[in-house]
Amino acid sequence: GAGGGAPLTGADSGAPQAGAGANAAASAPPRRGGTLRAGSPPPPTAVDPVTMYDGSAIAIVQLVADYLIWLDRDFTLKPRLAEKWESEDGGKRWVFTLRKGVTFSDGTPLDAEIVKASFDRLLDPKSKSAALSAFDTVLAKGGVGVRDAATVVFTLERAFSDFPYLVSAGNYNAVILKKDYAGDFTKKPIGTGPFLLESYDASSGATFTRNPKYWEPGKPYLDGVKITFYADDQADLLALQSGEIDAQILSRPQLVGPLKGLGDITVDQVQGTGLTAFTLRTDRPPFDRKEARQAVAYALDRPGVNATIYDGIGALGNDHLFAPLFPAAPDGIAQRAKDPAKVAELLGGQPLKFTLTYDPPSKDYALTVQNQLKQAGIQVELDQRTSADFYGGDQEKDTPWLFSTANLVGWAGRATPSQFIIPMVKGGGVWNGSKYANPALDAAADAYDAAQTPGERAAQAEIIAKALHEDIPVIVAVWSGTVRAYNGRKFTGIQAHPSSYVDFSSVSQVV
Amino acid sequence: MTGLRIEDLSVAYAGKAAVRGVSFTVAPGQTYGLVGESGCGKTTVGRALGGQVARGGAITSGRIVVDGVDVLGLPPAGLRRWRAAALAVVHQEASASLDPTMRVGTQLTQALRARGRDRREVPELLERVRLPDPRAIARRYPHQLSGGQQQRVVIAAALAARPRLLVLDEPTTGLDATVEREILELIGELRAELAAAVVLISHDLDLVGRLCDRVGVLYAGRLVEEGPAATVLREPAHPYPAALLAGTPRLGRTRRTHPLTPIPGHPPVPGEELAGCSFAPRCPRADALCHATAPAPSAVAVAVAVAVAGVPVPPVASGVAALHQVSCHHPGQARRPEPRPQPPQRQPAETEPTETEPAVPERGPLLEIRGLTRRYGRTVAVDGADLVIRRGEVVGLVGESGSGKTTLARAVAGLAGRGPGTITLHGRPLHPSVTRRDPGQRRAVQMVFQNPYASLNPSHTVRVILAKAARSLGGTRDPADLAREAGLDAYILDARPDRLSGGQRQRAAIARAFAGEPDLVVCDEPVSALDVSVQAGVLRLLDDRQRAGGTSYLFISHDLAVVGYLADRIAVMYQGRIVEQGPAGQVLHGPHHPYTALLVGSRRPGAPGRVSATGCPFAGTCPSRVGGLCDTSAPPARDLGQGHVVRCHLDPERLPRRAGNSTSP
Amino acid sequence: MTAIALPFTRRHRHRTALGIGAGIVLAWAVVAVLWPQLVPYEPDLQDPAARFLPPGGAHWLGTDQFGRDTFSRLLAGARPVLLVAPAATVLAVVAGTLVGLAAGTYGGLLDEIVMRVLDAVVVFPSIIATVLVVALAGRSVTVMVLVIAASFVPIVARSVRAATLVEREKSYVEAARLRGERSWGLTVREILPNVAPTVLVEATSRFGDAIFAAATLSFLGLGQPPGSPDWGASVSDNRLWLQLAPWTVLGPALAIASLVVGIALVADALRGRWEAS
Amino acid sequence: MRFLLRRLVAVPLTLLGVSVLVFVTTELVPGDVARTILGREASAESVARLRSQLGLDAPLPERYADWLGGFLTGRWGESYTLGVPVRDLVLDRLAASMLLAALAFALLVPVAVGLGLVAGVNHDRPLDRLVSVSGLALGATPEFVTGVVLLVVFAVRLRWFPSSAQAPDGSSLLVRLGHLALPALSLVLLCTGYVARHVRAGAVVAIESAYAGAAELRGLTRWQVVRRHVLRNSTIAATSALGVQLQFLLGGLVTVELLFNHPGIGALLLSSAVDKDLPTLQATAMVLGLLYMVIVLAADVAYRVLDPRIRLGAAS
Ligand SMILES: Nc1ncnc2c1ncn2[C@@H]1O[C@H](COP(=O)(O)OP(=O)(O)OP(=O)(O)O)[C@@H](O)[C@H]1O
Ligand SMILES: Nc1ncnc2c1ncn2[C@@H]1O[C@H](COP(=O)(O)OP(=O)(O)OP(=O)(O)O)[C@@H](O)[C@H]1O
Ligand SMILES: [Mg+2]
Ligand SMILES: [Mg+2]
Ligand code: NI
């Protein structure tokens, strides 16, 4: 699509990064019709765009509702309900111009009031919105204004150059819903997305049909989508292999990697910004000593982790929170690699032993870490908790994921590095599990957000990255890659997405 | 050639011969008896007659010819057809040979269908075996019938077959005396009617003597003697049947007049091959020849059999020779020691009394039971029973199954829970529960149980069992002494009960009961589960122990001959009440209670009638019922002297008596 | 009736079954003890370059997703299995026997209450209990043992109670009462030795079930601590790759099956022996 | 009759005990359902607000009393996590599970009885050993192994059966059964050995019994003897084993439902326990408990009905 670009992110320019499917689609006119059957895990909670956080719920909502801006697979921003956006007042005010002629599936036309209501809903401190934390210190309630029917103005608390990301799909709760939306999304699913939610059953799945009023002419190509819930990964995978479903919403690289090219199955892969944060508590032994943290970092065999956990599709991490995919990622810092001699030197003959706390999704990661550190003479005891336990408890006092000596937390990909840096390593950050406090870094982080030029940005990024690389509050061994497996003989246009988002509006049957 | 002819039949289990070279013939209409101790191969022969062997067994040689058909030579389908057409087998335990999950009528229908007849004949069949209300019976399941009724159903199924060969394997074992008699009468009638060859298997010599034309005596799988029933069972030529007879108690013979002589040792098990006569190790007459070579069958002079006078010889079917064969090197030498009941010819060395009525010195009462009542839920098992046991006295308790004998015995032992009535020992009351009795009282009353297999703790050795008993009963003797007194070899002391034979177990149980020198031993059917020859040994032991210690017994048995053998006085129980008690001879011979008359076989039951709760419980079946009296008012206790009390409305003179010893062969 | 000697064949069968069963169990027991001497690789050793290797050459049974040697893990897995199952069994059998004996001996109200409580334990979904204990105490061998044992106690208690009731009716018990023995002493000294066969048969059957239960717990993510070479855990960890690397699943699955079959054979043979005697 | 009455009285008592147990144990499990619903990124205030909305602030006894009152009057509440009415959820899932269990049971009985009979009639022969040992081995193989093998072979390779137990809405019964075939089969494989062993044991006793011998001596063929006498007697002996197996089947449901993506009550039990979704967990536990006890009772009753010795025991 066309549209105005944001000044600092680089406009969306020309053809999107093409996956395998997109290439095929380009060669022939897309065929209309057909229903795509997809599998995904059942959402653990009721599907509510305001509170959702799991991939299945997000996918369901993304089929039905739309964002102002779509976050593309290469982390560029693509106009959706907003045609263009620009900043005023040194990045403190952002003005969004809405697309014309967009109507909700019940016929209500989209206007600025509706957009304002959508964001007010997310910003209401009384709401249970998951986006509250994303907007924290950036946008507060009352910060959203309407200039005219087609223009929405966001007035920020502080300058934030990456703000468009926060109102894009990158902040997945930020879908535009009608004013009267009251939390019963699956019962009254009204959106501006490509599909209409026809039926939803918490146990078995959801069906979607084409939204005839979709704003983008000719799309979607599919008549409908049917999502079936598979509580078990293997069931999902076998369903794909047996042809019972055509695509997976959330594929695991470890599982589908080995299937690449087997039979009808096509696996699209993409670099991501997700990570498993290996957090070390810097305020208590043994990791109050920087050497201990560094020893652990030098003991890790990063390519080994990548091969084992991501089937080799991830990118190596360098213990700072700038993924290679982020445009601001500094490139002057040497990649850290396994160095047993260095480990020995750092430990200085002292034995190092610690407990690693994590929840089931990080199990393989934990095992790999444990074994690799063992080979370097560092003893790790694994403490696996249930997810409810790991993330439960009081976030101020004792929740394991923020208060254990060392832990593993899986983070889905974020659109901007600040979304990691501010909460995770800034002093007093809400999810600062390492209790890391470095005033220099804090200052740089603020400066980074407010930076108006790429050069300034890069400079601040380098400060942050170097500090993290040196102090290692969080070990980032690998940046995730994500995959999406589908039946390439039957469908084209299905792509992997760094955040596993779905955009099936361009999917079509193979001619 | 009609009838059954067996030639040289041998059966082996897992290669070990259990039946060896058995041959005999049975003419149609004739009954052939097969006798022998347990394990001698009777059932094996019986099953082989139908071409059937138990798993692991095989017929290794021989021919079975029935009405000219070589049964063993038939192909499987032919065998099935022959079985369906010509064979009927009545198994030892009726309850086992009826499918527990199928209505009796259905099972009979199937038997009829197999012969191409239909279910309409079922009631008729059931009526033939004199079952009341055949239609109701047909709708019942086996467990809803009494043992006797079940046995009759099995016989009815056999009748449905109209067989040419009828095999009856212990058809009355385990049944009440009265029921047994009915069944036997029924079989007797049917035999004539069917004109089939009948093979009757039993270890009850009495019964075989009454029913059979010819008898074969099996020992260790061999036919050691074979001939006319009257001859073989009166004047056996082989020492084995002679010894069996000597070990069998009979009505009218007591321990004081005719002590039993048990056969020492036990029969060989299959596979235990002996060079000579297999009976030689147990035979008092055996010599070097017997131990060296097995005897061949030889004919015995017929004259011996005919010479016995004064006894009705059963009619011998025409055409069958009164051939008498024996396999013994010294036939005829081991005559029965005492062929005539009276007067006794020989007295055992230890005792002198020569009268029929034993001279029991009148001693004070040891145990007195007054108005004892025990219930199980709504069933009144014992109903106001009165009984006195004097010091040094053996009191026999008889009665049909379910009459409450066991419950009474357990109440005495303190195992039957609480209930009205009193029991006093030496004049002091006994608590109903054994755990509340004082140690002296516990020592004084001990018990020998019916089932030898359950009465010893299988996880303790005999020594431990006896030692425990001696310790807790304050006995002074050590296990070795106790075992020796009970006739147990010393090596048995260190064996666990599962290594012991039934007889040895019962001896151990008796030794245990005597560990504390009891005043009273309650014996609840201590020999019913035992083989004749073993039974003789145990009875002998009980007798010895009683004499040695002057211990009193309450001795229960459903076998009148056994009770008569051991008891000084007899009490007769009927539906929870003691209807008669008195000196053994008087009770058995009369004048006695009409119910006792029924038990000893001098009377038949009367037509069933109705009785009120207040009347005599026996009035319902009493042949001498006085209408309007017996069924409404409780009978008085009539004292006939010598402590002989009969609870009956009849005048003492009108009470029945036993006419001679007609049931004894 | 005299007890008829059992036909030769059946005794014989019991003996061979016992031999085979005991052989299997013993072999695994030896492996459980000696595996450190037997394994070609350290069971935990990961090798990212050797993931999902098929059986052959350097790795007889191939490798798994971490590049660990399947064969070594198979051998090492015998130990946790043979720790958890016997421990759970012993615990369940001891507790169940005591409860069963008490219920059978005292009868009446106690019996009724005990049976109802056991009912509730049986009915209470063990998954909830497991989730609870796992959450409270973490995934550990102790937790597994406790959870499995608790779910078996009612089963053991029931059959011991039934056996006790049968034994209690036998006349040797009455003989002991005639001697003046009282309830509990009588139960322990006279009845217990005779319900021992039942207890032993229960123990062998529970043993087999315990292996299975442990595997299922691991499958549900509630079992062995992560990374354990335990067979059940291996099966559940690797089942996702069953198609791609069947050796990672089939080895431990067959091992479980062989052990359970071995134990069942022993149990059957023992039961047969007791029935025969 | 008295037996039945006593057992029936015990049912609600046991259920009450179970409900208290569930409540107390769930309370002890760490974790917070509000946090589960809102995710780890939600603020502490949101979580607190949701907790009070869900009524999780009230003391335990009060919540229990509330729940019990509601449960007894048919108001089973809403699932905390899924936000749907618990009663519909649980009963739907139950129905789905029951369909699967019923199919498995319907397959299990003839297969197990047939195999058991074959083994029993040929006991101590190779065929018997084959049946016994393979039944044992299959029963010893976790259902998540047999299940996956079945899936790979029949759903992925041969494509004879669908891989998922869920049939599309509105499909015919036949199609639905087709979807349930593989999960049912894996349950059957799991349980057959056990039941067959019991049938076999009963068959051995029956075939060696005097009544079977007597029937044979009446001229019946082996097959007739088996059909008329052995079949019934051995199945009666195996009824209680079937009862146990039904319970086992319910247990196996958890894994099989996961594997074959069958939204049944087993899977619900697991997820609600993990998420601390108390209303759902309670209802699921109660329904399963009830079912469980009904099965045990039914097995007992069936045993009594089938076996006249017990059914009419008092009559004689
Ligand atoms: N199925 C069998 N397998 C092996 N041995 C057997 C079998 N049946 C019987 N025997 C043995 O064969 C011998 C003869 O047994 P059989 O049952 O024929 O004796 P019986 O005279 O009928 O004894 P009883 O009076 O106890 O009924 C016994 O030693 C017995 O142990
Ligand atoms: N444990 C019990 N529970 C209920 N009823 C019983 C029990 N034991 C015996 N009875 C009943 O009490 C009555 C008397 O039984 P008891 O055993 O004393 O008779 P018995 O004369 O010893 O019979 P048998 O000769 O068969 O041993 C019978 O009707 C019997 O059914
Ligand atoms: Mg016999
Ligand atoms: Mg009795
Ligand atoms: Ni016998």
Ligand nearest to the CA of B399: 2
Among A259, A368, A388, beta carbon nearest to C66 = A368
Site to probe by mutation for ligand 2, drawn from B176, B397, B406, B573 as the one with most ligand atoms within 8 Å of Cβ, is B406
Q: Which of B22, B38, B59 to mutate to test the pocket of ligand 1 (most atoms within 8 A of CB)?
A: B38
pLDDT in tens, A496-506: 998 889 999 99
**What pLDDT is attached to residue A16?**
38
Of B13, B469, B472, which is closest to C7 when you measure between CB atoms? B13
Task: For residue B36, give the ligand 1 atom closest to its CA.
Answer: 21
pLDDT band at D1 (very low <50, low <70, confident <90, very high): low
Chain D residue with CA closest to B76: the answer is D221
With an 8 Å Cβ cutoff, is A364 touching chain C?
Answer: yes
pTM: 0.79
Asked whether the beta carbons of D79 and D279 are under 8 A apart, the reply is: yes
> With touching defined as 3+ CB pairs under 8 A, do chains A and B touch?
no
In the DSSP assignment, the letter for residue B460 is S
3-state secondary structure at position B503: helix
- C253 at the D interface (CB within 8 A)? yes
Of the partner residues C46, C134, C240, the one whose CB lies closest to the CB of residue A233: C240
Distance CA A74, CA A324 (A): 11
> From CA D177, how far away is CA D161, in angstroms rounded?
10
Q: What is the DSSP letter of C191?
A: I
Residues in a beta bridge with B233: none
Strand partners, B10: B61
- What is residue A65's predicted lDDT score, i.e. its pLDDT? 94
Tell which atom from ligand 2 comes closest to the C-alpha of B576: 14
- What tokens appear for C148 in the block? 């499995």
Q: In Å, how far is B612's CA from the nearest CA of chain D?
A: 22
pLDDT for D310 beyond 70 = no
pLDDT in tens, chain A (511 residues): 233 333 333 333 333 343 444 444 455 678 888 999 999 999 988 899 998 888 999 999 999 999 999 999 888 899 999 999 998 888 889 999 999 989 999 999 999 999 999 999 999 888 788 788 888 888 988 899 999 999 999 999 988 888 999 999 989 999 999 999 988 899 989 999 999 999 998 888 999 999 998 999 888 999 999 999 998 888 888 889 888 899 999 998 888 877 777 778 899 999 888 999 999 999 998 999 999 999 999 999 999 999 999 889 999 999 999 999 888 889 889 999 999 999 999 998 889 999 999 988 899 999 999 999 999 999 999 988 888 888 888 888 889 999 999 999 999 888 889 889 988 999 888 899 999 999 999 999 999 988 888 888 899 999 999 999 999 999 999 998 899 999 988 999 999 998 889 999 999 998 7
CB contact under 8 A, C66 and A363: no
- Indicate the residue type of B177: A
| Closest-CA distance of chain A to residue D44, Å | 7
State the distance from the centre of ligand 5 to the C-alpha of B451, rounded, in angstroms: 13
- Mutation pick from D5, D144, D250 vs chain C, by most beta carbons of C within 10 Å, is D144
Long-range own/partner contacts, residues A391-398 (CB < 8 A, 24 or more apart): A391/A359, A391/D31, A391/D35, A391/D36, A391/D40, A392/D30, A392/D31, A392/D32, A392/D35, A392/D36, A393/D30, A393/D32, A394/D44, A395/A430, A395/D44, A396/D44
User: Does the distance separating the beta carbons of C244 and A258 come in below 8 Å?
Assistant: yes
- pLDDT digits 0-9 by tens, D187-241: 888 888 888 888 888 888 888 888 888 888 888 888 888 888 888 888 887 777 7
Nearest CB to B473 within list C179, C196, C277: C179
Environment of ion ligand 5 (residues, CB < 5 A): B 38; C 1-2
Distance B375 CA to ligand 4 centre (A): 15
The dihedral over CA atoms of A214, A220, A224, A228, expressed in degrees to the nearest 10, equals -100
Total Cβ atoms within 10 A of residue A447: 17
Average pLDDT, chain A: 88
ipTM for the complex?
A: 0.76
Cβ atoms within 10 A of the Cβ of A124, count? 13
**Interface test with chain D among A35, A37, A40, A45, by most D beta carbons within 10 Å:** A45
- 10-residue mean pLDDT profile of chain B (665 residues): values are 87 90 91 90 91 87 91 91 88 83 88 80 85 86 84 85 88 77 80 84 85 91 91 88 87 82 83 83 86 85 45 42 81 54 38 44 82 88 91 91 90 89 91 88 89 86 90 84 87 86 88 90 88 87 89 90 91 91 87 86 67 77 80 84 87 77 39
Interface contact A133-D42, CB threshold 8 A: yes
Structure confidence by residue, pLDDT tens digits, A110-135: 999 999 999 999 998 887 887 888 88
Q: Which of residues 71-130 of C touch A (CB under 8 A)?
A: none
Find, among D166, C77, B486, B523, the residue nearest to A206 by Cα.
D166
Q: Is D312 within 8 Å of B146 (Cβ atoms)?
A: no
- CA terminus-to-terminus distance, chain C: 15
Residues 6 or more apart whose CB falls under 8 angstroms from that of D125 comprise none
CA angle B657, B660, B662 (to 5 degrees): 110
CA-wise closest residue to B330 among B364, B298, B363 = B298
Give CA–CA dist B643/A297, Å, rounded: 108
pLDDT at B350: 37
Q: Does A382 touch chain C (CB under 8 A)?
A: yes
Please report the pLDDT score of residue A8 as a whole number.
35
Task: Tell me if D244 sits within 8 A of D250, measured CB to CB.
Answer: no
Neighbours of ion ligand 3 (CB under 5 A): B 43
A86 and A7 Cβ atoms separated by less than 8 Å: yes
Q: How far is it, in rounded angstroms, from Cα B225 to Cα B325?
A: 6
- Which chains sit next to A, with 3 or more Cβ pairs under 8 A? C, D
Alpha helices (H) in B247-322, listed in sequence order: 288-292, 303-306
Residues with C-beta atoms within 5 A of ion ligand 4: B 406
Q: What residues 143-172 of chain C have any CB closer than 8 A to a CB of chain B?
A: 170-172
Chain C residue closest in CA terms to B457:
C172
Pocket of ligand 2 (CB under 6 A): B 376, 379, 381, 399, 401-407, 558
Please tell me which of the candidates A308, A366, A367 has its beta carbon nearest to residue C48.
Answer: A308
Chains contacting C (3+ CB pairs below 8 angstroms): A, B, D
pLDDT, one tens digit per residue, over A381-414 is 998 888 888 888 888 888 999 999 999 999 988 8
Contacts for B509 with CB less than 8 Å, ≥ 6 apart: B448, B449, B452, B455, B456, B526, C175
Q: Cα–Cα distances in Å, from B564 out to A279, B400, B648, D161?
A: 97, 16, 22, 79
Q: Which residues pair with B602 in a beta bridge?
A: none
What is the Å distance from ligand 3's center to B252 Cα?
29
Q: A56, A232, A409, A432: which to substitute to probe chain D, counting the most D Cβ within 10 Å? A: A232
Q: Which two tokens stand for residue A377?
A: 């003479």
Q: Span D55-71, mean pLDDT?
A: 88
The ligand that comes nearest to the alpha carbon of residue B382 is 2
Pairing of strands B222-228, B214-219: antiparallel
* CATH classification for the domain delimited by C13-275, as one of 1.20.1250.20, 1.10.3720.10, 1.10.20.10, 3.40.980.10: 1.10.3720.10
B531 CA → ligand 5 middle, Å: 7
Radius of gyration of chain C (CA): 22
Q: What's the B529 CA to ligand 5 centre distance in angstroms?
A: 8
- Rg for chain D, CA atoms, rounded: 24
> Given the CA of residue B176, which atom of ligand 2 is nearest to it?
25
Cα B364 to Cα B390: distance, rounded to the nearest angstrom: 6
pLDDT band at residue C14, thresholds of 50, 70 and 90?
low
Query: For residue C264, which of B100, D129, B201, D203 has the smallest C-alpha distance?
Result: D129
pLDDT in tens, A426-479: 988 889 999 999 999 999 999 998 888 888 889 999 999 999 999 999 999 999
Buried-exposed string A455-493: b where 16+ CB fall within 10 A, e elsewhere: eebbebbbbbbbbbbebbbbbbbbbbbbbbbbbbebbbb
Distance from CA of C40 to the nearest CA of D (A): 26
* Distance separating alpha carbons of residues A167 and B547, to the nearest angstrom: 112
CA of B40 to the centre of ligand 1 (A): 7
- C240–A237 C-beta distance less than 8 A: yes
A-C contacts (CB, under 8 Å): 60
Q: What is the mean pLDDT of chain D?
A: 83
Over residues C237-248, the mean pLDDT reads 84
Token pair of A457, please? 């940005």
Q: Whose CA is nearest to atom 14 of ligand 2?
A: B404
Q: Please judge whether B101 and D307 are an interchain contact, meaning their C-beta atoms are less than 8 angstroms apart.
A: yes
